[in-house]
Amino acid sequence: MAYIEFNDVVKEYPAGSSSIRALDGASFAADEGELSVILGQSGAGKTTALNILGGMDTATSGRVIVGGRDITDLNHHDLVTYRRNDIGFVFQFHQLLPEFTALENVAIPALIKGDRAADAYKRAAELIDYMGLSGRADHKPAALSGGEKQRIAVARALMNRPSVIFADEPSGSLDSRNKEELHRLFFDLRREFSQTFVIVTHDESLAMMCDRVLTMRDGVIVSDMKKEKIDE
């Protein structure tokens, strides 16, 4: 059984007396430890699909299963728990809190979860060190480069040891060097920790390196190509 199952998912948004269908029966699957990307033009439905997978939106119909758990009909409380404990999310523009240091930003998910502060900050420091940014732990986001901010955002996404990380255009705002470094980080995490990723991107160079490439058009998956795992 696939680790992620997205089965015949429809998502409609009200628009006056009618509705807009962002997803029109989209279906795909992804395996554990796989690095998958969803490609498609703007408006294809990629971010809508990712938001549903990440528990930030709900499907109008269809079923969504992550790690054997059907998240389709979870209530608000259970969705919050799912987002906090089971997944990590990386946004295009990092979404770091400007008033906190890098260390504090990374520790926040564990503190919200209720972990002891000492344990949370210890793990946060270890993750920042893994990112190669131990010397930047006490800096606030304004003092970090774009690439550094995104690596801190990835560390934050890893904080609660999620089963899967969802990323929405994570390298979209980076220059070519930082983009390449971020992509290599994803492959390092996949290789060393069998971390599962689903990444929405326009970047075909990243797609060419991934285990599975899903192409979306007009709210449906029109192509699903699985390749042999490549350890970049």
In a domain, 56, yes or no: yes
In a domain, 21, yes or no: yes
Is-above-0.85 flag for pTM? Answer: yes
Residues whose CB falls within 8 Å of the CB of residue 54, separated by 6 or more in sequence, listed in order: 83, 87, 89, 166
Nearest to residue 161, comparing CAs of 115, 206, 92? 115
Which stretch of DSSP H or E encloses residue 22? strand 18-30
Phi, psi of 224 (to 5 degrees): -135, 105
pLDDT for the residue 229: 56
In a domain, 68, yes or no: yes
Full residue range of the structural domain in which residue 44 is found:
1-86+202-226
Q: What's the total number of domains in the chain?
A: 1
Residues whose CB falls within 8 Å of the CB of residue 126, separated by 6 or more in sequence, listed in order: none
In a domain, 208, yes or no: yes
In a domain, 52, yes or no: yes
In a domain, 166, yes or no: no
pLDDT for the residue 205: 83
- What is the distance of C-alpha 5 from the center of its chain? 16
In a domain, 219, yes or no: yes
Amino acid type, 177: R
In a domain, 71, yes or no: yes
DSSP secondary structure code for residue 226 in this structure: E
What does the pLDDT profile of the chain (232 residues) look like in tens digits? 689 999 999 999 998 889 999 999 999 999 999 999 999 988 999 999 999 999 999 999 999 999 999 999 999 999 999 999 999 999 877 789 999 999 999 999 999 999 999 999 999 999 999 999 999 999 999 999 999 999 999 999 999 999 999 999 988 777 888 888 889 999 999 988 899 999 999 888 888 889 999 999 999 999 999 876 555 5
Q: Partners of 39 in the beta sheet?
A: 215
In this structure, what CATH number is given to the domain that contains residue 221? 3.40.50.300
pLDDT for the residue 17: 87
Q: How far apart are the first and last CA of the chain?
A: 26
DSSP string, 51-105: HHHTTSS--SEEEEEETTEE-TT--HHHHHHHHHHTEEEE-TT----TTS-HHHH
Residue pair 25/10 in contact (Cβ under 8 Å)? The answer is yes
Residues whose CB falls within 8 Å of the CB of residue 30, separated by 6 or more in sequence, listed in order: 2, 3, 4, 36, 196, 198, 212
